[in-house]
Structure formats: C-alpha cells, structure tokens
Amino acid sequence: MQTTIAFFGGIYNNYLALESAIADAHARHVSQMYCLGDLGAFGPYPDRVFPLLIENEIQTVQGNYDHSIGNALEDCQCGYTDPRDNHFAAISYDYTLHNTSPENREWMKKLPEEIRFTWEDKTILLCHGSPRKTNEFLWESTTSTAFLERLVNEQNADIILGTHTGLHWHRRLSNNRHFINVGVLGRPENDGTTNVWYTLLHLKTEGNGQENDSVSVEFIPVVYDHERLAREMDSENIPAEFIETIRTGWWTTCLEVLPAKERRTGKY
C-alpha cells in the first residue's frame, strides 16, 4: 500500500498560488490535501481563498491569523516587537479583517487547532506553529533534535507537520519519526526566487527491513502568476514593501523573528 498526501502552509491571501498548488497536487494524484492555516495576511482579496479550500475538500487547521480574524481580535498574534514590523503587520491585518466576509470569519473561527489521523500504524499530527503553541516559531537552525524527539513522544505522533515560519524544512527523527515544516504558499522564501512551496508526504507499507524508506518528504516549488498578484496588490493599495517581496523573492518586513542563520541568506 502507498499513498501521497499534500500539505499547504500559510496562504496569506495568495489565492493564485493556492490555485496552482491544488492543480499540481491533483496532477500528482494525491489522496488528500490539507492546509495548516494562516489564510490571510500580505495579499489581496481574502475571500477568494475560501471557495478553493471548501470546493476541494481541503481540511484546514486554524492558524494564529485565522484565530485572530475569526474572533476579530486586535492583531494577528504574530508576536512582533519591532515597531516597523508591527506597523506593516497592522496594515495587512486591518486590510484582511475588513475584507473577509462574516461567513468566512465564522468558518475560520470554527477551525480545529490540530488535526490527527492515522495511516496504517502511523499517527500523523497537523498543527500550525507547534503542537504546544499555535504561534510558536520552529526554525531549522534553532530547533534541536532532542526537542523534536520529546515533542513526538509527548504527542504520541510519528509525523508532525507545521508551518508558521514561512520556510520549509524536514528533520528525520529516531524510529522513522519525522518533523516537517511544510513551508508557505503565501510568499516566497526570502531567497531571491518568486516561486513558493508546498509539501508532499509519501507513505508506504513497511516491510522487508525497509522501514526507513516507508516515509519520504518532497518539497514542491510552485510557479504561479506572481505578476498578476503584484498588480492586484497594487490596485488594493497594499504596501509597496509587500509587493516587492512577491516580485523579487526577498522579504522586506517582519524580519525580526528570523534567527541569525536564516537571516544571513536574505537581502535585508
């Protein structure tokens, strides 16, 4: 037996990238698609994301952004302290809040904080930041393997998947267990390229001593019409700094949360 499952991270209103990722995942004959939350933020027209998720039966975890918008809270709970980051975070938050319909806000409000399912003998846990805190940033350079081993033990999970940071990565743990950050569809990865990313999880039945091959992870680059997104952001008066990120692949705001190693590879 084998199966392939698709995971989409933060959408950040980038409905065009979501459309492309769904089409790509369909073409690869995935058995199921999941979204790990943060539907709103930098991009235009928040309401265009919801029909894509609903019509394609994409089960969705509630991100910190979705909890905030769903409950009309003061801010996105992104945890910024730098005044410039807070300034830009507030602009996209207010835009998203005012352009998300009451029906869609209600839908977000009811999303689960985690989704758990099993495939054969494996337990798979989907969260947003980490299973212990929705808005926890787990970065590749600062997250120890010992911590992740403890997390999978505490959660009784074989595979934990999250998003929230904006950068994809994968750590193989003991006993064929895994932690995966699935990346985001909302904006590029601060690497000077305009594509975004989603994740495929390939699962197959263990046997013949091939346990280490029964789980494999594939990160998929998504090319989409980023010029159209940039034009639409411009027509919605979304800040030029966000549009620059879509057009160049470099993050221009909300950089304070990046650890030194991840920040060194960026332009700003």
Which residues bind to Fe ion, rule: CB under 5 A? 38, 63-64, 164
Q: Which amino acid is at 194?
A: T
Minimum separation from the CB atom of position 75 to Fe ion (A): 12
Residue 11 or 30 with smaller CB distance to Fe ion: 11
Question: DSSP letter string over 61-100?
Answer: PPPHHHHHHHTT-SS------SHHHHHHHHHHHHHHHHTS
Angle at alpha carbon of residue 258, lines to 253 and 264, rounded to 5°: 95
Cβ-based neighbour number of residue 123 at 10 Å: 16
Residue 203 or 254 with smaller CB distance to Fe ion: 254
Minimum separation from the CB atom of position 81 to Fe ion (A): 16
Which residue has the closest beta carbon to Fe ion? 164
Minimum separation from the CB atom of position 19 to Fe ion (A): 21
Residue 9 or 249 with smaller CB distance to Fe ion: 9
Minimum separation from the CB atom of position 198 to Fe ion (A): 16
Residue 266 in 3-state DSSP? coil
Task: Please report where in the chains the tokens 């019509």 appear, as a residue.
Answer: 55
Residue 164 or 177 with smaller CB distance to Fe ion: 164
- N-term to C-term CA, the chain: 46
Cβ-based neighbour number of residue 226 at 10 Å: 22
Residue 127 or 246 with smaller CB distance to Fe ion: 127
Minimum separation from the CB atom of position 177 to Fe ion (A): 24
Angle at alpha carbon of residue 179, lines to 176 and 180, rounded to 5°: 120
Residue 63 or 183 with smaller CB distance to Fe ion: 63
Cβ-based burial of 150 (10 A; exposed 0-12, middle 13-18, buried ≥19)? exposed
Minimum separation from the CB atom of position 151 to Fe ion (A): 18
Residue 128 or 177 with smaller CB distance to Fe ion: 128
Minimum separation from the CB atom of position 17 to Fe ion (A): 16
Asked whether the beta carbons of 188 and 168 are under 8 A apart, the reply is no
SS3 sequence of 166-228: CCCEEEEEHHHEEEEECCCCCCCCCCCCCCEEEEEEEEECCCCCCHHHCEEEEEEEECCCHHH
Report the distance separating Cα 166 and Cα 182, nearest Å. Answer: 9
